[in-house]
């Protein structure tokens, strides 16, 4: 595998597939059965009063299978994460079904000074991926993952990323690549998304602990069944710093220019109203915005502890409600493995996004959660956890919708291995 070239800049990703608590592990399967209690699910249907249906508290059972880990050779590393489950509730059987997600990561040292990385993620979920019921291993580099979903609605997604890195001497490196992604949502009331991205950056290693660079990205979003698309150009300064032996910082700051096309409602002229008998029409529009881009991450990796704190402000595909949007996200994840018997993890985060152009409104959510795993025998574990989400919508400086959701779960997992299993 490529030798150490200083800390990586922000545009080259934050983590490798198959890692847990800061280290790669051998491929490890697991099977889990647990009881769950969920509240605050958000459906895509309305009641007779025109309000979004609230199914209330739901008791259910989940059966889960999965595997994670990595395998390394002299020039190649392959990492993977897979998670699949079947969910069954005693009532509100509309929410019964299966969820699957697979993250596959291949890195190949092509020459002594260059390597290529191919990474793909895809799956289907009826829960907000990245929200309360998060798949814990998703990297923010993936743009085609519905990480800010509002509704508990069936979603299909895929994202493929390729990147080639060339070291030019001991201190300089360049990388270029791109990815393509797509999202489809079962409800016809929600908007799907297609897109692609091109990436390029130059990085210079100032010393063993510090790297700086400049990066450019081009993004394109378009939306099936809806008239609208956007082209986005981003230019940023990037930097990274190994603060201590175990603490790392990566960040980027810059600007992005979004060129949006869509349809908006307009008030018709009184003469047209008198002639046609309607007061509102639609027109195509084009809007250009120039906005700041910020990405920052602090993470600590040790043999037993993993800590990541990140913040991002930039463009977003809209979450099924808006078209192209601007977003702010902040998240903290911490996990700890105690001896050979137990693991414990905490997560908290904030998400906020609002439409660009003619699409007004603001959607925000707060998430928090904890999970614990305890070894009962050589291959059997007890798992339990709690998750919370608060979701709200504002329009015209007025809150129009709010819902709190909770999940409590407890169950048992079988997984052969020397260290406690780490799943969500």
Backbone angles phi, psi at 121, to 5 degrees: -140, 135
pTM of the model: 0.84
Ranges 84-93, 379-388, 390-399: which has the least confidence: 390-399
Q: What is the mean pLDDT of residues 52-57?
A: 87
Phi, psi of 408 (to 5 degrees): -125, 135
Q: Per-residue pLDDT tens for 5-15?
A: 445 555 665 56
**Residue 326 DSSP code:** E
Query: What percentage of the chain has pLDDT greater than the value 90?
Result: 40
Q: What is the pLDDT of residue 36?
A: 93
pLDDT at 319 exceeding the cut of 50: yes
- 3-state class of 80 per DSSP? strand
The SS3 call for residue 270 is helix
Say yes or no: domain 10-257+288-414 is CATH 1.10.1740.
no
Q: Name the residue with higher pLDDT: 413 or 5.
A: 413
- The alpha carbon of 296 is separated from its chain's Cα centroid by a whole number of angstroms, namely 15
Indicate if the pLDDT at residue 189 is higher than 90. Answer: no
Distance between CA atoms of residues 277 and 275, nearest Å: 6
Task: Tell me the mean pLDDT in the region 139-158.
Answer: 79
Domain boundaries, the chain: 10-257+288-414
- Name 83's Cβ contacts closer than 8 Å, sequence gap at least 6: 64, 66, 99, 100, 101, 135, 423
Q: DSSP for 348-390? A: EEEEEEEE-TT---EEEEEEEEEEEEEE-SSSEEEEEEEEEEE
What's the half-sphere exposure (Cβ side, CA atoms, 13 Å) at 241? 8
Asked if the model's pLDDT at residue 285 lies above 60, the reply is yes
Q: Is the pLDDT of residue 59 over 90?
A: yes
- Residue 37: is its pLDDT beyond 60? yes
Query: What is the predicted pLDDT for the residue at 76?
Result: 93
Judge whether 392 and 362 are in contact, CB under 8 Å. no
> Does residue 203 surpass a pLDDT of 60?
yes
Q: Considering the chain, what is the average pLDDT of its residues?
A: 85
């Amino acid at each position: 595998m490529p030798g150490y070239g200083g800390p990586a800049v922000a545009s080259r990703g934050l983590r490798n597939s198959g890692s847990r608590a800061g280290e790669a592990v051998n491929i490890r399967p697991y099977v889990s059965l647990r009881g769950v209690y969920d509240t605050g699910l958000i459906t895509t249907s309305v009641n007779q009063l025109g309000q979004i249906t609230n199914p209330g508290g739901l008791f259910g059972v989940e059966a889960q299978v999965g595997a994670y880990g990595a395998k390394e050779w002299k020039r190649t590393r392959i990492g993977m994460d897979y998670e699949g489950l079947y969910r069954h509730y005693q009532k509100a059987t509309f929410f019964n079904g299966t969820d699957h997600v697979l993250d596959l990561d291949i890195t190949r040292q092509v020459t002594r000074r260059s390597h290529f990385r191919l990474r793909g993620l895809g799956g289907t979920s009826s829960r907000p991926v990245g929200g309360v019921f998060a798949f814990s291993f998703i990297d923010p580099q993936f743009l085609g993952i519905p990480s800010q979903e509002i509704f508990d609605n069936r979603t299909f997604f895929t994202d493929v990323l390729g990147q080639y890195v060339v070291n030019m001497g001991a201190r300089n490196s360049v990388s270029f690549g791109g990815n393509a992604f797509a999202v489809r949502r079962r409800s016809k009331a929600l908007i799907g998304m297609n897109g692609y991205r091109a990436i390029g950056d130059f990085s210079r290693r100032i010393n063993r602990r510090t790297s700086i660079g400049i990066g450019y990205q081009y993004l394109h979003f378009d939306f099936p069944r809806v008239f609208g698309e956007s082209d986005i150009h981003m230019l940023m300064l990037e930097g990274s710093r190994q603060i201590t032996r175990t603490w790392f910082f990566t960040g980027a700051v810059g600007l992005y220019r979004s060129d949006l096309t869509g349809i908006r409602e307009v008030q018709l002229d009184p003469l047209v109203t008198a002639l046609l008998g309607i007061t509102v029409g639609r027109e195509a529009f084009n809007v250009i915005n120039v906005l700041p881009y910020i990405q920052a991450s602090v993470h600590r990796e040790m043999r037993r502890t993993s800590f990541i704190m990140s913040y991002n402000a930039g463009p977003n595909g809209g979450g099924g409600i808006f078209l192209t949007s601007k977003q702010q996200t902040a998240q903290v994840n911490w996990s700890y493995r105690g001896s050979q018997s137990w693991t414990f993890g905490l997560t908290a985060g904030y998400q906020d996004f609002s439409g660009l152009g003619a699409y007004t409104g603001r959607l925000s959510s707060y998430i928090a959660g904890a999970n614990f795993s305890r070894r009962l025998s050589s291959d059997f574990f007890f798992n339990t956890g709690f998750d919370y989400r608060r979701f709200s919508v504002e329009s015209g400086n007025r809150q129009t919708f709010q819902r709190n959701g909770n999940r409590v779960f407890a169950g048992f997992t079988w997984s052969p291995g020397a260290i406690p299993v780490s799943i969500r």
